Amino acid sequence: MTDPSLPPAPDATVVGLVGIGHHDTPLVLRERFARPIEAFLPTLVALTGSGGPKEAVIVATCNRTELYYRRAQDADGDPRRWLLRASGFEEDDPAGAALYRHEGPEAVRHLVRVTSGLDSMLLGEGQIFAQVKEAYTAANRAGLVGPQLHRLFQHAFLHARTIRRTTGLGTHAVSLAGLAARLPRRIFPSYGELTAIVIGGGETGHLVARYLREEGVGRLLLASRSFPRAQELARRHGGHALPLTELGPHLVLADVLVSATDAGRILITAQDLRAARSHQRRRPLLLIDLSIPRTIEPEAADLPDIFLYGLERVAAMAEDNEARRKDAALAAEMAVEEAVAAFTLNHKRLLAAPLIQDLRREAEETRRRTLRKAEQLLAAGRDPHEVLGYLADTLTARLLHGPTVRLREAGEHHDRALLEAAARLFALDGDGTETEEP
C-alpha cells in the first residue's frame, strides 16, 4: 500500500523514441517524413500543451526521422501518433506501422549509438553528431526540452565524444565516397584553398560532394550529363554547376577531380590534362576515378605531379579500412553498454533524490531548533556540560522519533517488509525482525 505522505514517484514518466530509419525502410517511405526540423516544432509545441509528450526533440536527417519524448507513465495511446501529426499526417496513416519505438534503456542505447555513428549508413559517420546536437538545440530554443531529455542528450553527447575518441570509430572511412573525400589529405596540407570538381549526378557523386564540403573544401564545381541535376547538386552543396560539355576549360582550376558517372567512355584524356596544365606552374592534381567503365584515361598517371587513384585501388583501401572500423565498432558497442548502464544507474539514484532532500531538510530543521535552545540555555548561565548533554539527548530523540514510531507500528501490524527495509537502511543486524509471530 502506498504511503500518501510520500511525494509522487520521480519515475512516473518514461523517456522513449519513435522513428523511421534506413535499416529496413525504403527511401520512398522515408522521403514522406523528410522536412526541416523547424517544420516539426510548431505541432510538437502544441502537442506538449494538450496531453502529448511532456518533452520532445526531433532528429531529422536524410537517413532518419526520430522523435525523442518524455511521456506520462499512464498516458493513453501510442506515441507514434505524435510523430505522424508532427509530420503532417493523420494519426491513423498506414506509415505509422513502419515506425520503430524504444523506451527506457533501449532508448538510451539507441541515442548513444546514433550520436556516436554506430547506427549510420556509413559506419562511424561523424556528421550525425552535429546533426543531433543541432536538433537538440532547436528543440531547446522552442521550449520543448525539460530536465529528463536534457540529461539524456547531454549524456549521449559526452559518451559519443569519448567513444569516437577512444575507439577510433571515426578514423577510417569505409565507403568509396568517404574515401574519395579524404584522399586529398595525403597530398594537400588543408582543404580550404582547394578547388574540387565532381563529375556525376547520382548518389555517389552526391555523397562525394557532401563529404568534400564537410571536410572544408574551398570551392566545389559539379558537372553532370544532366545540367539540371548538376544545378540541384550545386544548390544542395553550395557549389557551381557545369554542363559536362564545358568541363575541359575548367580543368585548369582543379586541385582534386572525382569522377563518379556511368558515362561508359573516357571523358578526360591524358592529352586534355596536358593541355590544361601546360601554362601552369607545377602543382599537384589528384584524380579519383570511381566510374565503371573508367572515365579518366589511365595514361594520365604518367604525367608529372598527377596522382591517379582508380576504383580498384580505392576499393582495396575501403576493404582494409572496413576491417579496422569493424574492430573499432566492437569496442564502441562495449562502450555504448557502459554508457547505458551509467545513465540507468544515475536515473535510479535520482529516484531517491526527493526523499533524500526531504530527509536532509527535516534533519537540518531539527538541528537548528535544538541548537537554538542549547544556545539559549548557555546564555542563561547553565553549565556547558549539562547543555551538551541536553543537545545530544534532544537531537537524538528528535531525529529518531519518527522512525521509531513507524517501526513500532510496523511491529504491531506484522509489516515485515518495512522492518527488513529499516534493517537494511540503518545497517542493523536485523535481530528484531526475526522474532517469531505469536
- Which position has the higher pLDDT, 377 or 423? 377
pLDDT surpassing 60 at residue 250: yes
CB atoms closer than 10 angstroms to residue 335: 21
- pLDDT, tens digit, for every residue of 71-82? 988 776 789 999
Mean pLDDT of 36-57: 93
Alpha-carbon distance values, 427 to 361, 424, 431 (Å)? 22, 5, 12
> Strands of 55-60's sheet, edge to edge?
55-60, 65-72, 13-20, 100-103
Mean predicted lDDT score pLDDT of the chain? 86
- Which position has the higher pLDDT, 341 or 12? 341
> All 3 cell numbers of residue 432?
528484531
Would you place residue 89 in the very low, low, confident or very high pLDDT band (cuts 50, 70, 90)?
Answer: very high
Which domains are present in the chain? 13-170+324-351 (3.30.460.30), 176-309 (3.40.50.720), 359-434 (no CATH)
> What 8-state DSSP symbol labels residue 244?
G
pLDDT surpassing 50 at residue 435: no
- pLDDT, tens digit, for every residue of 409-426? 888 888 888 788 778 877
Check residue 436 and give its pLDDT.
44
Residues 6+ apart with CB under 8 A from 367: 395
Check residue 122 and give its pLDDT.
65
- Which position has the higher pLDDT, 178 or 224? 224
Would you place residue 434 in the very low, low, confident or very high pLDDT band (cuts 50, 70, 90)?
Answer: very low
Q: State yes or no: is 325 an active-site residue.
A: no
Q: What is the dihedral of CA 144, 148, 154, 157, to 10 degrees?
A: -90
What does the alpha-carbon distance between residue 127 and residue 61 come to, in Å, rounded to a whole number? 10
Residues 6+ apart with CB under 8 A from 379: none
Check residue 4 and give its pLDDT.
41
pLDDT surpassing 90 at residue 326: no
Would you place residue 173 in the very low, low, confident or very high pLDDT band (cuts 50, 70, 90)?
Answer: low
Alpha-carbon distance values, 92 to 76, 80, 88, 96, 171 (Å)? 15, 10, 12, 7, 43
With beta carbons less than 8 A apart as the criterion, state whether 10 and 350 touch.
Answer: yes
CA R_g for the chain: 32
Catalytic residue among 34, 39, 45, 62: 62
What does the alpha-carbon distance between residue 360 and residue 399 come to, in Å, rounded to a whole number? 11
- pLDDT, tens digit, for every residue of 117-159? 888 776 777 778 888 999 999 999 999 999 999 999 999 999 9
Check residue 414 and give its pLDDT.
85
Check residue 7 and give its pLDDT.
44
With beta carbons less than 8 A apart as the criterion, state whether 428 and 422 touch.
Answer: yes
pLDDT surpassing 80 at residue 321: no
Check residue 430 and give its pLDDT.
58
> Strands of 285-289's sheet, edge to edge?
240-243, 219-224, 195-199, 256-259, 285-289, 306-309
Mean pLDDT of 374-386: 90
Longest distance between any two alpha carbons in the chain, whole Å: 110
Cα of first residue to Cα of last residue in the chain, in angstroms, is 24
pLDDT surpassing 90 at residue 69: yes
Q: State if pTM tops 0.75.
A: no
- pLDDT, tens digit, for every residue of 191-222? 999 999 999 988 889 989 999 998 999 999 99
What does the alpha-carbon distance between residue 197 and residue 252 come to, in Å, rounded to a whole number? 11
Conformational region of residue 130, where left means phi above 0, alpha means psi within -120 to 50, and beta covers everything else:
alpha
Mean pLDDT of 298-325: 83
